[in-house]
Amino acid sequence: MTEMVYGAVPQRAGEPILPKWWRTLDKWSMTCVMLLFAVGLLLGLAASVPLAERNGFGNFHYVSRQAVFGCAALVAMLLTSMMSPQLVRRLAVIGFVISFAALALLPVFGTDFGKGAMRWYSLGFASVQPSEFLKPGFVVVAAWLIAASQEINGPPGKLWSFGLCVTVVLMLVMQPDFGQASLVLFGWGVMYFVAGAPMLLLVAMAGVVVLGGMFAYANSEHFARRIDGYLNPEVDPTTQLGYATNAIREGGLFGVGVGEGEVKWSLPDAHTDFIIAVAAEEYGLVLVLVIISLYALIVVRSLFRLMRERDPFTRLAGTGLAAMFGVQAMINMGVAVRLLPAKGMTLPFVSYGGSSLIAGGIAVGMLLAFTRTRPQGGIADYLRGRG
């Protein structure tokens, strides 16, 4: 009788996964990631050749490896972006537990490759940096805990997430890896702020961070050396910062020309931490502004799409991933122009590095999964409906 009056309820066959994924995906952000990877290969062709010659490899040894790692990262990004937020959360918990265990075992089985920081596992043919894979897993787990605390009779998730954050930060500081520690702390702070943390608590946390920095300066030669180099008004032209500063100055607006740069022959980390100096010298400020715009577009679009998200977990996890992604890029470029102390941090999807590329692909894949369009209406519509 109901069907005779109102008509039968239309039954729509389940939409295939790929068309649904493509229809709901943030295509602008994905295109920006692809362009960043292409820029990384372009710069790698210039920056990695001197290093390959010094190490006795073929001219395009590191570029070929970056292409392989980058393709693996893009596959990981695409597969992760097709998952539901619930599946992303389950896999992130497993990944976080594995990465946390690997991070804890670094003092026993890890190596520093002569850089003074125990951050890697050497596999012979490659190396793995557990902290790179830990970051996206930590953000998702912390967001889950914070979101759970907002439920009626929910657990004290904010307190648990804070304890987890402090534990991870202390483990990273012990390596020492202050750059990754600051990223983890910043990502957690952004999520905690979005979840409604009181400003007084955030100010108190900032004070604790300052005190922690003072303690590290007094007790860590590695940390003190980097801070002293940053505060020194005179830049030693024979240091990496000196070479990078000079290269950026020489590049000017349009650069000295493709393949004409000199900094890649002097900087040992030209293909990783200081890749932006190569871009500035050979292609000028124009390419640097393009790179900054690509990162900004990914972060801004993601945050705007997350503002319409109803689910607290999805909104918090996506915000933490977007903030961490953008700040890592900002820190890398800020170090090159001496706005920040040296951190030893890669430029996402542009710098060479297997761990950073693949972990970055997973993190951005999670972000794309969280920012996919869902049939839920905007959060503003939801709030107006309740009123």
Alpha-carbon 56 to chain mean position: 32
What integer is the mean pLDDT of 112-123? 80
CA torsion, ordered 136, 130, 81, 35, to nearest 10 deg? 100
In angstroms, how far apart are the furthest CA atoms of the chain?
A: 87
Greatest mean pLDDT among 170-174, 245-249, 264-268 lies in: 170-174
What pLDDT, on the 0 to 100 scale, is given for residue 301?
A: 96
Tell how strand 127-128 and strand 121-122 pair up: antiparallel
Alpha helices (H) in the chain, listed in sequence order: 2-6, 17-24, 27-47, 49-54, 61-81, 85-104, 106-109, 130-149, 157-173, 178-194, 199-219, 221-231, 240-251, 275-306, 312-336, 354-370, 379-386
Give pLDDT, residue 190.
93
* pLDDT reported for residue 251: 85
Query: What pLDDT digit, counting tens, does each position of 260-276 carry?
Result: 788 887 777 778 888 89
Contact indicator for 247, 263 with CB cutoff of 8 Å: yes
Please say if the pLDDT value at position 11 is more than 50: no
pLDDT greater than 50 at residue 211: yes
User: Which residues does 271 contact at the CB level (< 8 Å), separation at least 6?
Assistant: 43, 44, 47, 48, 51, 62, 264, 278, 351, 352
Provide DSSP, 198-220: -HHHHHHHHHHHHHHHHHHHHH-
- Whether 140 shows a pLDDT value over 90: the answer reads yes
pLDDT tier, 1 (very low <50, low <70, confident <90, very high otherwise): very low
pTM of the model: 0.88
pLDDT digits (tens, 9 = 90+) for 78-104: 999 999 999 999 999 999 999 999 999
What does the mean pLDDT of the chain come to? 85
Q: What is the pLDDT of residue 3?
A: 40
Under 8 Å between Cβ of 328 and 132: no
Question: Is the Cα dihedral 300, 306, 307, 312 positive or negative?
Answer: negative
